[in-house]
Structure formats: C-alpha cells, structure tokens
Amino acid sequence: MRLLAVLLFGLLLTAPVAAQNAPEPDPFVASTYLNAINVRSGPGETFAAVTSLGKGIPVRIVERNRVGTWLHIQRDDGAGGLILDGWVVGGYLDLADNLRYSELPVNDSLPDADPSSQNSQSMKLLYAVPVMPFISPAMHDLFLKGLQMGNRSNAVTKVGDSLVANEYYLQLMNRPDNNLGHYDFLAETIAYFGASAAQPSAAARVGLSTAVIFDPMWADSTRCEAGETALDCEYRLKMPGVALVMFGPNDVLHISPKAYYDGMEKIVQRSLEKGVIPVLFTFSYNPDSELWQEALAFNLSLVEIANQYQVPLVNLWAAARIIPDYGLDTDLVHLKNSGFEYLNFANGNEAFYGVAMQNLLAVRVLDEIRRGIIMTSLAG
Amino acid sequence: MRKLFLVMIALLLTACGGGSGNGDPAGAVQRYLQAKVSGDAEGVRSLLCAAMEADAEREAASFATVSGASIEGMTCARDGETDRVKCEGKIVATYGQEKTEFPLGTYSVVQEDGEWKWCGEAS
C-alpha cells in the first residue's frame, strides 16, 4: 500500500514534466473550423475552385502570398501522392499558435487575382493590380529628398475621409496589447512607426473630400495656420516620410470621376513636392450600389495616377472582396470594425472585418517601405 | 406728413441695408459665407475675388459632403482700415450621426470694380 502511494506520488511529480516535454504541435499543419471551404488554384477568389476542404481535415501549409492572407495547402495520401493542392483564405483555418509567417516561404510569382475570369473590362483592370505594391525606385529618391527637407523617417500619417479618420485605423499601432498573431514579422515595423501613427491626423476628417482638403476652412483651426490647407498643415506638423491616402466613398457621391482624378493627382503632386511618399489605397464599394460603375472608375483613376507618378497603390478593393459585405458596415459605405480596440491580426480577423484588413494592408505596406527603402537608405 | 415719414423710413432702411451689401467688406464676407454654406454657386461666384476664380467650383461645393450646414452666431467686422475682416461664430454641419464644426476666422477682402470681394483666409 505504501509502495503504491509512493508510486502514485512519483507519477504526479513526473506528469507536469512529461507535459512540458510534449512536442509542440507542427506549426505547418492546420485544418478549417468551417464546414467546408473552397480550395482554389491561386491566392485569390477569382481563381477557379479546384476542390473543397471539409471541417477538421488536416492539411500541410507550404507557402503564403505576399500579404499573408492566402495560404497554399497540400494533403497527401500517405504514400507521397497529393490528394489536395491549392490556396485557401488563411483566416478560414485554425492555425497553430507557433506558426510564424516569417518562417513560411512566400510565393511572389503568382498574381493576386486571375483577371481573365472577369467579364467587365473595369474589373479586369482593377484585379490586375497587386494587393501589395512593389515599391518603385522613384520612391527611394523621394524618401531621400524628404529626409533632406527635414521629414522624419519613422513618421507616418493618414490622409482621407471618415474611413481614414476612424480612430481604429492605424492609430492603434502604438498599443502595448496588440496581437499580431502569425504576422510576427510586422513587429519591428509597428514599433518603428507606432508613435507617429498614434497621433490623429489633421488631414483626416469626416466629410473630407479630394476637393475640400485644399479648402483652408476644412483645416483644424486649433492646429493649422490661417490660410493653410489640411494637407499642408499635417505635413508641417508631422513631417512624415509616408502618408497613407484614401478617398472615394464620399467623393463618389458628389463629384465626377474627372474631378476625383484632379483632386487625387493634386494630393500626390503636393506630397511629392513635400518629399512624402504618398501610398494610395483603392476603396471597397458595394456592387449593388447605383454608383458601382462610378466607384470602379474612381478606383481606376488611382491606378492611372499611381502608374504615372510611380507611387505605391494598395489594392484594398481587391483584398476586401473575400470579406462578408466586402468589408463594409451596415451603411455599406464605411468599413466594419472588428470590435477590438487594439490591432488584432490573430484569429483571421482580416478575413471578416474591413477595418482589420485596412489595418493589415497599411502595416504591410509600411513594412515593405521600411525594409525596402528606409533601412537601405539609412544604412547607405 | 405720413408720406414723408414713409420716405424717411425707406431711406433709413436703405442706409442700414448698405452696411451688408458689397459696398461694405464685412457684409460682403457674411454674404459670401452664407452662399458658400448653402452651396449657392452663383452667390459664391459673384462674391469671390478674381484671384480665386479657379476655386469657385470647389468653394461652392465645400459643404456638399455634409448635411444641414448652417452658420451660428456670425458677426463680422473689418479690422480697422485694413483689407481684413474678422468673423466670430461657426459653421455647423452633420455627417451621419456626427456633428462637425468649422469656426469662422479672419478673411482677406479686395475691392474690385467698387465692390468688396471675399479673397480667402487671411494669413
């Protein structure tokens, strides 16, 4: 009896040790928590569905797209033959806590969409734009010019209407409780830009449009000088190296595509004069809206401007197509908040909420700029 | 006697009205701001200085993206004999459920063909 007690005691003592020694789950194995999800031939919803994946079936993750929103999965038959091979939305999978996207190979050879699947010429053109831009060499020169003008390399600001003025967009970057989930590689970029991103922008305001951003009456009189535009005011106050610019949902209600083009071009030109890298964002819109065609035209004008001036263009419009209601809130204009008051890239939030996707793309493009331009410029 | 009294009243009203017409810089600014807030393109065009003619469309559509724009507590006065008019009060408007305000400031005026015109914010 005494021996049994000693044995039991010994087992109790060793149990936690055994648990501690249990191997970590394989980070590259996952399954979906949804009943069934489409597996596609490429990293986007315009690629053909090749099969579906049922709930709980384990698959191996072999690579990701550049943003990190789509994962390439495979499943073999145990004898080396593939029985499943394709791409799924990462947010639809239960991913192991120890999966780090920094350790997952990136496929940057496949495009983000298959434009040939679309009937509309406008949609073909918009889908042809990568979700995450490749930063042009011209931006390297612009960044150096900005530094000479006194701009701060680690300062970022935002320019736009209520979708941009939203305090849950970008301003959360400095919070200590941010949860990056599997996007571990974004931590340094968030730390680098966080303090400046937390400051509200004088160039982001409800009701602001590409036209009135040049009307000094719309500038914040408590921070801006008399006669100064909101854009000039923000650039003077923050001296940013980068500005994330998004207009559209307001403009499309009130102005023509030509006026929108002119306004956006003026914003880009002014940013270039000030040595600020303007990162343009396409905007999500409801296809059932009467103004859908106009919204497409507005977004296409951004493609034209971005090409002309070699400035980065983030294709939020395309990225948001996988999100329920295209990432829009019940008013079908504003992007939907996830409800988290900190950046939360865990649990696939970006696949369900417009603001989560907007934040992810913003941080991702800042990461591209920091690694591709800022670090190399400062090192040189 | 009654006729003379009516004539005097009419003269008095005309004199007072002159204070808010284009012959008076403060009045011109007030009328300009009213036209801008109400989206009155013709009013904006007629009270905008020639140097800002290219901005007329933008000025007239400045509050198109918000609703119910109006001016509260506006009083304007010329700053001595300068070409500046200082206004108190604010423009209020709503966007969705959110109220947004634009405090009035100090504006430049110029006289063109004998008429005072609004010419942007004074720096």
- Chain A to chain B Cβ contacts (< 8 Å): 60
**Is the pLDDT assigned to residue B14 strictly greater than 50?**
no
Of B95, B102, B106, the CB nearest to A206: B95
Domain of residue A358: give its range.
116-379
Predicted local distance difference test score (pLDDT) of residue A22: 72
CB contact under 8 A, B120 and A218: no
- Predicted interface score ipTM higher than 0.90: no
Q: pLDDT tens digits for B82-94?
A: 999 999 999 999 9
CB contact at 8 A, A274 and A231: no
Predicted local distance difference test score (pLDDT) of residue A5: 56
Residue A109, phi then psi, degrees to nearest 5: -95, -25
- Say if residue A86 is in the same domain as residue A213: no
Would you place residue A18 in the very low, low, confident or very high pLDDT band (cuts 50, 70, 90)?
low
- Say if residue A87 is in the same domain as residue A151: no
CB contact under 8 A, A254 and B65: yes
**Is the pLDDT assigned to residue A9 strictly greater than 60?**
no
> What share of chain A has pLDDT > 90, as a percent?
90
Residues on chain B touching A254 (C-beta within 8 angstroms): 61, 64-65
Would you place residue B7 in the very low, low, confident or very high pLDDT band (cuts 50, 70, 90)?
very low
Predicted local distance difference test score (pLDDT) of residue A351: 96
Interface of B with A (CB under 8 A): 55, 58-59, 61-62, 64-66, 91, 93, 95-96, 98, 100, 102-103, 105-106, 120-123
Domain count, chain A: 2
- Say if residue A201 is in the same domain as residue A333: yes
Averaged pLDDT score across all residues of chain A: 94
Element holding A234 (H helix, E strand): helix A230-238
- Say if residue A100 is in the same domain as residue A134: no
Residue A3 structure tokens? 């021996």
Task: State the sign of the Cα–Cα–Cα–Cα dihedral A336, A339, A343, A347.
Answer: negative
Decide if A18 is inside a domain: no
Residue A280's DSSP bridge partners are: A245, A313
Q: pLDDT tens digits for A35-89?
A: 999 999 999 999 999 999 999 999 999 999 999 999 999 999 989 899 999 999 9
d(CA B115, CA B27): 11
Residue B3, phi then psi, degrees to nearest 5: -65, -40
Predicted local distance difference test score (pLDDT) of residue A20: 60
- Say if residue A282 is in the same domain as residue A138: yes
CB contact under 8 A, A254 and B93: no
Predicted local distance difference test score (pLDDT) of residue A36: 97
Residue A104, phi then psi, degrees to nearest 5: -100, 130
d(CA A165, CA A99): 33
Task: Specify the CATH number for the domain of residue A220.
Answer: 3.40.50.1110
d(CA A358, CA A164): 9
Residues on chain A touching B122 (C-beta within 8 angstroms): 226-227
Q: Closest residue of B to A161, CA-based?
A: B65
B-facing residues of A in 10-39 (CB < 8 A) are none
Decide if A121 is inside a domain: yes
- Say if residue A75 is in the same domain as residue A137: no
Decide if A349 is inside a domain: yes
- Say if residue A90 is in the same domain as residue A146: no
Residues on chain A touching B95 (C-beta within 8 angstroms): 162, 206-207
**Chain centroid to CA A177:** 19
Decide if A233 is inside a domain: yes
Type of residue found at A166? N
Decide if A24 is inside a domain: no
Decide if A19 is inside a domain: no
CB contact under 8 A, A227 and B102: no
At residue A290, the 3 state secondary structure works out as coil
Q: Which residues of B10-24 are buried (b: 16+ CB within 10 A; e: fewer)?
A: eeeeeeeeeeeebeb
Of A78, A110, A142, the last residue of a domain is A110
Of A206, A212, A253, the CB nearest to B58: A212
Of A161, A211, A226, the CB nearest to B105: A226
Residues on chain B touching A161 (C-beta within 8 angstroms): 65
Of B65, B91, B123, the CB nearest to A226: B123
CB contact under 8 A, A207 and B65: yes
Predicted local distance difference test score (pLDDT) of residue A2: 57
Decide if A10 is inside a domain: no
Predicted local distance difference test score (pLDDT) of residue B13: 42
**Helix spans in B1-123 (H):** 2-18, 25-37, 41-47, 56-60
Instruction: Say how many C-beta atoms besides its own lie within 10 A of residue A41's C-beta.
Output: 15
d(CA A355, CA A163): 9
- Say if residue A166 is in the same domain as residue A247: yes
Q: Which of A173, A161, A131 is nearest to A46 (CA)?
A: A131
Residues on chain B touching A331 (C-beta within 8 angstroms): 96
> What share of chain B has pLDDT > 90, as a percent?
76
Helices A230-238, A257-273: crossing angle, 10 deg rounding: 30
- Say if residue A235 is in the same domain as residue A93: no
At residue A30, the 3 state secondary structure works out as strand
- Say if residue A172 is in the same domain as residue A96: no
CB contact under 8 A, B65 and A250: yes
Of A110, A127, A161, the last residue of a domain is A110
CB contact at 8 A, B51 and B63: no
Contacts of A100 (CB under 8 A, 6+ apart): A27, A182, A184, A185
Q: pLDDT tens digits for A187-245?
A: 999 999 999 999 999 999 999 999 999 999 999 999 999 999 999 999 999 999 999 99
- Say if residue A185 is in the same domain as residue A95: no
- Say if residue A62 is in the same domain as residue A131: no
Q: Closest residue of A to B36, CA-based?
A: A217
Q: Which of B29, B34, B44, B58 to mutate to test the interface with A (most CBs of A within 10 A)?
A: B58
Contacts of A55 (CB under 8 A, 6+ apart): A31, A32, A33, A34, A35, A36
Of A110, A142, A163, the last residue of a domain is A110
Does residue A331 sit at the B interface (CB-CB below 8 Å)?
yes
Residue A12 structure tokens? 């109790």
| Domain annotation for chain B: domains and CATH numbers | 15-121 (3.10.450.100)
Of B55, B58, B121, the CB nearest to A227: B121
d(CA B50, CA B47): 9
Decide if A191 is inside a domain: yes
Task: Specify the CATH number for the domain of residue A48.
Answer: 2.30.30.40
CB contact under 8 A, B65 and A331: no
